[in-house]
Amino acid sequence: MNNPPELETARLRLRALEESDTEAIIELFADPALSAHFATPLTDPDLVRAMVGRRLAYSGPAGMGHWAIERDGEVIGLAHLRPSEELPGGVPEIGYYLARAHGGQGLATEAAKALLAHGLVGLGLSSVWALVGESNVASLNLVRRLGFLDVGSGDHYGSGPHRVLVALPSEHGRAHHIELWVPDLARAEESWGWLLGELGWREFQRWPDGVSWKHGATYLVVERSPALSGEKHERTAPGLNHLALHVDTRDRVNELASKAVEHGWSPLFAEKYPYAGGDHHYAAYLENTDGFEVELVALPGSDVTRLG
């Protein structure tokens, strides 16, 4: 069922496409220019009805789907962010169509920018892809303005050569580093060093009072600071409660939770493992000797082996 979240911009509302939008979408595609780059133009109302029906039947990943674009309550466009039917691996693909009567005002850019932010920031996607016909100069200019990178070309959608473009997450607003002050550096290295190493982090910097590990652009510091004012971290006091880290599969969560006890970690909420965070949240909660808590969260859609 098509049920993506509502998105709002300064001038537009993007909401889930509904069956009641069919006539408005038919009117939209009655303009031959809107489907001029398609293999089969959508000026035939029956073709549009079939297309809307396919979009309403969407049953892919949560948060993705098909949107109607509204301005002042009027449907003026159509948009999607869903697994690609053309590119390998079902990577997320973006698309948008806007009535020519509303062109030249930056509205298509506004809608596409909102969808892109929803994908890369809201959903945390590792990339968003676009396929744009090589003759569709306006759309090519738009996606390039949004920062899409041109990575090649191919024949797609039965309508000839398309540019293949990809947008990647920006570093803007992402965590630069996390710093933990610890009472004992050796104990911290034993617990944090083992766990982070198992998750693909690599040692980054070392100095007499501390060490850090890096994963991508983010690094984590543990330090026995000379300015430390206490000898015990209290996770239930104001301040840091815990760190939550992704793990690629549920089986890997199980493996790490089992091995962690050999490296200074103890289980938390063991009686509710692995669903202490809810029926759809597969995770291990661990606490080390110095009272720091970590949550190891299986990636959504990973293997579905359930304990017990």
pLDDT (tens digit, 9 = 90+) per residue, 195-210? Answer: 999 999 999 999 999 9
Any domain includes 306: no
* pLDDT at residue 302, as a whole number: 59
What's the pLDDT tens digit per position in 95-111? 999 999 999 999 999 99
Q: What are the DSSP calls for 236-248, one per residue? A: TSSS--EEEEEES
> 288 with 230, same domain?
yes
Asked if residue 78 has pLDDT above 70, the reply is yes
Does residue 118 lie in a domain region? yes
What is the CATH number for 254?
3.10.180.10
pLDDT in tens, 260-277: 999 999 999 999 999 999
> What is the per-residue pLDDT for 2?
81
Q: Which three-class secondary structure string do you get for 82-113?
A: EECCCCHHHCEEEEEEECHHHCCCCHHHHHHH
- Mark whether 94 and 223 lie in a shared domain: no
pLDDT of residue 303: 59
CA distance 109 to 12: 11
Say if 1 falls within a structural domain.
no
Same domain (yes/no): 159, 226: no
22 and 161 both lie in a single domain: yes
For the segment 283-306, the average pLDDT, to the nearest whole number, is 85
Q: Could you give the CA distance from residue 8 to residue 272 in angstroms, rounded to a whole number? A: 39
204 in the same domain as 91: no
Element (H, E) at 42: none
Q: What is the pLDDT of residue 307?
A: 38
Element (H, E) at 53: helix 45-56
Determine the pLDDT at residue 114. 97
Give per-residue pLDDT as tens, 143-176.
999 999 999 999 999 999 999 999 999 888 889 9
Same-domain pairing of 212 and 73: no
What is the pLDDT, as a whole number, of residue 60? 92
* 117 and 266 together in one domain: no
pLDDT digits over 79-136, tens only? 999 999 999 999 999 999 999 999 999 999 999 999 999 999 999 999 999 999 999 9
**CA–CA dist 113, 27 (Å, integer):** 25
Please determine, for residue 182, whether its predicted confidence score (pLDDT) is greater than 80. Answer: yes
Taking residues 248-264, report their average pLDDT. 96
Q: What is the pLDDT of residue 1?
A: 75
